Structure 1
């Protein structure tokens, strides 16, 4: 399937039925140091190192007792929480099937299902200290549409965080280039003491993903449209 290239890089031979884009993706995977590190250290995906790097910068995991993982598949973020804080209760949710993780409750369903928030809360057994969201909408190739769909998930996650977080808790969510829009940032700043954007080194340079990190939960707030009712 592959052969050595210059500089020790793996080069993928062309194969019948494989598109040029899939060949490039496979070649990138073979040469990605984070992929190799994840395989060596037993993480399910290179995405684990995004959370590890965010945690190193923002101290998210230490001391948490209950954690929600939105968009858990394939499970790398929950693995990180389990390793760094074995005593924490973790509940994850995803449309995709996820292989069991010791100590983690996994719900296979759409987070946008009306029943999801109550099931997550019930499964966790109490208020959360940290809500993680690596969710992203399936892209359609239209930048504005993709952005709006992903930001809808971020906003839904923020609403849920406002319901389930303990005072002082944190919400971390994947956003696209440019970060969260002004309305969402304004809402988060009313809910949390600090709101920052970060792109961890494990995020590929050509990727449009960033993360919004909201810490110091102050409590749920009414949206402007709610206040007009």
Structure 2
């Protein structure tokens, strides 16, 4: 599952992720007319994409999605991706986060290791081990562990179930995915490791936050600037994993 050899995306080193694109002067706003067979919601999405500076900058720098800048911003602030680190990327498609992780861990040169998984097909990311599977299927975690070949330094999840439009239902679905990712992280993280996962505004469940605070030294919510302001998307970041052997608890 290897794609042709390419140069790593520009701007992938720490501190230079957002470069000049999203903050630079923008072209005049593009207006999209509603086509006969296109829904109004689809027209709005297309117009938003065409006018989004992060979309344009992702294309310029060779990232597969604007989501790459979310991870770049979070990593620039909290330094989660270290040279030689082992990283698990859940909900990886189309591969923007994996691209950033490969560049910053040195996985392309064999220094780090990045295992990326998604239920949807996606083009393999050079330098990453890519798995197409449903994370909630019984053997999926074992496949990740086999590919990781050691404890992880970071487990990150950008998983999200298809939106229903019902806020409470969507919140419950994404929280279930976050809980599944956290359970997995507890099994594979090295002491001192970190966990990063997408949730929705409206509150991470109190029980889940309490569990994180028992397992990690620091737990915080993060909303990177690259997340659209109108989006309910939010990330929970837990750092300083205490390890699995805590007999004193």
Instruction: Choose which of 165, 170, 193 in structure 2 pairs with 1:141.
Output: 165
Q: Is 1:44 equivalent to 2:49 in the alignment? A: no
Partner of 2:16: none
Structure 1 unmatched ranges of 5 or more: 1-6
Question: Any conservation in 2 of the 1:70–1:133 contact (CA below 8 Å)?
Answer: yes
Separation (CA, whole Å) in 1 of partners of 2:178 and 2:95: 19
1:195 is aligned to: 219
Task: Give the total of aligned pairs.
Answer: 217
SS of aligned partner of 1:8? coil
Residues 22-43 of structure 1 show CA distances to partners (whole Å, capped at 9, x for unaligned) of: 1111111001000000000000
Structure 2 residues without counterparts, runs of 5 or longer: 1-26
For 1:37-116, list aligned pairs within 5 A. 37-86=57-106, 87-116=111-140
C-alpha deviations, 1:173-208, integer Å up to 9, x for none? 000003421100000011101000010000001100
Instruction: Compute the displacement of 1:14 (Å).
Output: 2.7
- Choose 96-105 or 162-171, whichever is displaced more: 96-105
Distance in structure 1 (CA, Å) of the matches to 2:81 and 2:49: 28
2:241 aligned residue (210, 214, 217): 217
Task: Provide the alpha-carbon RMSD of the alignment.
Answer: 1.5
The structure in which a higher percent of residues are helix is 1
Counterparts of 1:194 and 1:111 in 2: how far apart (Å)? 26
Cα deviation for residue 221 of structure 1 reads 7.6
Counterpart of 2:150 in structure 1 is 126
Partner SS for 2:224: coil
Q: Report the counterpart of residue 3 of structure 1 in structure 2.
A: none
Shift in Å at residue 53 of structure 1?
0.7
Report runs of 4+ in structure 1 exceeding 4 Å deviation. none
Give, in whole Å, the separation in 1 of the partners of 2:98 and 2:163: 24
